[in-house]
Amino acid sequence: MQYRITHTTKFQYADPAPVCSNLVHLAPRHLPWQKVLEFRLLVHPDPKQISSRPDYFGNQVSYFAIAHAHRGVTISAHSHIEVQAIEPPIASPPWERVVREIQAPRPRWNLDTYQYLFPSRHVPLLAELREYALASFLEGRPIGEAVADLMHRIHQDFNYDPTATLVHTPLSEAFEKRAGVCQDFAHVGIGCLRALGIPARYVSGYLRTNPPPGKPRLVGADASHAWFAAYCGQELGWVDFDPTNDLLLSIDHITSGWGRDYDDVCPVQGLVIGGGQHVMSVSVDVEPLEIPAEP
């Protein structure tokens, strides 16, 4: 399946601002099941220079600054992506074995996995999350099954409500309210897994905007989306879970990047000097390019 993705972020200021600098994570990742055929980042007004580099987690991050008086910025990312369906994992080891494996001293540490065990800014270590998670992590249960159950419970127990939380609402509060958006659900899942000693990371990406005929529109399709991935042992590696839709990674998911939590892969962040109040608007469009076969 091929997609054309347009992600546009607009900032408008009340007064002209002399300078703003930005850091964006908008480029989709190259993955075994995902090919980036084209990516373009357009900024208006022209920043003259956009510097891109891979970040610590392997995502592409771009820096640019506008250094003359301007009344707003429009950042739009255009991607052309090909995604293949991936087989869901069948057999997985008991979750305790994965915990032991990651903690046991080995000849060499796999730092890239190990780093996702630690608390991060949006996902502190919370006793209540461990408590919540244990209901899914029964003794000896295969890790794939246990995490899928956790995802299912988050989907069941939590209310999708964009008014319930803000970007920086603490995880404990979202958990207490049992409400939030995809970002909060991903953070809850990550917090649960880390509390048990399982590395977990935050994945940001997109969902197909308009569902194939006869299928419901997925939640979170009109903006950038987020879910979590769990480390399921050496053989399986990382497996993605989307608690907002109670789905494993599907052909409708496009992965742009991952990190410890929202902070590491925030799509657009910037600092503007002056400019007074500002308003922001975001639009995301994910168009399938192949016409799906008639049923």
271 binds another protein, rule: CB under 8 A: yes
End-to-end CA distance of the chain: 16
Q: What tokens were used for 72?
A: 């707003």
What gap in Å lies between CA 121 and CA 55, rounded to an integer? 17
Give the binding range for another protein (CB under 8 A) out of 36-44, 91-99, 110-118, 191-199: 110-118
In degrees and rounded to multiples of 5, residue 207 shows phi and psi of: -120, 150
Give the binding range for another protein (CB under 8 A) out of 38-46, 91-99, 109-117, 234-242: 109-117
What gap in Å lies between CA 88 and CA 68, rounded to an integer? 51
Cα 167 → chain centroid = 13
212 binds another protein, rule: CB under 8 A: no
Among 223, 236, 247, 251, binds another protein (CB under 8 A): 223
CA separation, residue 233 to residues 94, 113, 133, 236, 238 (Å): 9, 10, 18, 6, 8
CA separation, residue 93 to residues 26, 118, 216, 252 (Å): 35, 22, 33, 28
272 binds another protein, rule: CB under 8 A: yes
59 binds another protein, rule: CB under 8 A: no
Closer residue to another protein (CB): 78 or 141: 78
What gap in Å lies between CA 182 and CA 162, rounded to an integer? 9
**How big is the chain by its Cα radius of gyration, in Å?**
20
Closer residue to another protein (CB): 90 or 273: 273
22 binds another protein, rule: CB under 8 A: yes
282 binds another protein, rule: CB under 8 A: yes
14 binds another protein, rule: CB under 8 A: no
270 binds another protein, rule: CB under 8 A: yes
DSSP structure class, residue 209: S
Question: Which residues of this chain interact with another protein, rule CB under 8 A?
Answer: 9, 11, 17-23, 48-49, 51, 53, 55-57, 63, 65, 67, 105, 108-109, 111, 114-115, 117-118, 166-167, 181-183, 223-224, 226, 263-264, 266-276, 278, 280, 282
